[in-house]
């Protein structure tokens, strides 16, 4: 715990790549700028707060907490920190697909987001698990029969650690690509919200806008039919995979910087027949 009661500038460095810079403001309090840099561990972003003298500033469980009397941005929540992604799993004409994700050590604020891309919209009985635990379909993310390709997002808050198998299965033979992303600093009561999807045809960009607060982290999955190359995204690409068959499917997943509502725009540079994309938000721990 650091009491903010000095009339000078100083840096207070926290673990996990987070730096807090405190600056005296007109003798009445401090401007606090918290910067977390990517480096494969978290998204990039800078968050500003104002804390009156006598307020408290501390780091707890990998997140920044500001207490006492506050103004401006108020008490800090989160941020959600990207942890890891599993290399994409693929299947040709099958009823299940898997990948392996490596989770960090014990953490009570971890969640895993599973992205599934399919080359048909007819599969039934779709379910996903992480380390054997059932992940729930995130409302609003199933593109259904919007186009002939299909994307869905599943989510699970979990205390699992280490190497874990992520698996999705369904009832009828389908080409599919699977990926997953884990994050910490996630609200365990409501880990995911604001699911959405979009569908396009004939090489048009596929785009979803995910409503998100500062400190949250949004992610999206793209699925394309009759195309087998990595798609370009305006966000950070975390996993990609392709099924090379006569009726192939490409799947890709990304994350945003965690600085508020974000548009995930997948720029489709070469011919495909259909594409769908789905997005959702990791909600920050309060």
pLDDT at residue number 201: 86
Predicted structure pTM score:
0.74
**Architecture of domain 81-282 in this structure:** Sandwich (2.60)
d(CA 240, CA 157): 23
What confidence category does residue 77 fall into, taking pLDDT thresholds of 50, 70 and 90?
Answer: low
Residue 282: both structure tokens together: 């990791």
Range(s) within the chain of domains with CATH label 2.60.120.380: 81-282
Which residue pairs from 1-8 have beta carbons closer than 8 angstroms and sit at least 24 positions apart in sequence?
Answer: 1/56, 1/57, 1/58, 2/56, 2/57, 2/58, 3/54, 3/56, 4/29, 4/30, 4/51, 4/53, 4/54, 4/55, 4/56, 4/57, 4/68, 5/53, 5/54
pLDDT at residue number 262: 96
pLDDT at residue number 204: 84
pLDDT, one tens digit per residue, over 28-60 is: 444 444 444 433 333 334 444 433 334 433 333
What confidence category does residue 237 fall into, taking pLDDT thresholds of 50, 70 and 90?
Answer: very high
């Amino acid at each position: 715990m650091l009491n903010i009661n000095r009339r000078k500038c100083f840096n207070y460095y926290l673990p996990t790549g987070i730096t807090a810079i405190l600056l005296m403001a007109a003798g009445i309090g401090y401007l606090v700028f918290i910067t977390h840099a990517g480096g494969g561990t978290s998204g990039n972003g800078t968050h500003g707060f104002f804390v009156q003298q006598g307020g408290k500033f501390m780091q707890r469980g990998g997140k920044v907490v500001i207490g006492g009397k506050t103004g401006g941005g108020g008490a800090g929540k989160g941020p959600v920190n990207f942890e890891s992604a599993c290399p994409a799993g693929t299947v040709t004409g099958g009823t299940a697909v898997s990948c392996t994700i490596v989770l960090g050590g014990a953490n009570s604020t971890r969640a895993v987001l599973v992205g599934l891309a399919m080359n048909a919209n007819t599969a039934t009985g779709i379910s996903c698990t992480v380390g054997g635990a059932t992940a729930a379909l995130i409302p609003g993310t199933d593109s259904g029969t919007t186009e002939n390709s299909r994307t869905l997002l599943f989510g699970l808050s979990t205390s699992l650690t280490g190497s874990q198998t992520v698996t999705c299965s369904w009832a009828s033979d389908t080409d599919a690509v699977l990926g997953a992303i884990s994050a910490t600093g996630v609200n365990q009561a409501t880990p995911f919200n604001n699911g959405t999807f979009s569908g396009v045809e004939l090489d048009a960009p596929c785009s979803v806008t995910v409503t998100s607060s500062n400190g949250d982290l949004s992610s999206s999955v793209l699925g394309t039919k009759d195309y087998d190359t990595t798609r370009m995204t305006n966000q950070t690409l975390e996993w990609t995979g392709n099924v090379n068959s006569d009726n192939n499917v490409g799947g890709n997943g990304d994350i945003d910087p965690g600085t508020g509502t974000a548009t995930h725009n997948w720029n489709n540079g070469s011919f495909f027949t259909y594409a769908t994309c789905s997005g959702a938000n990791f909600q920050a721990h309060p």
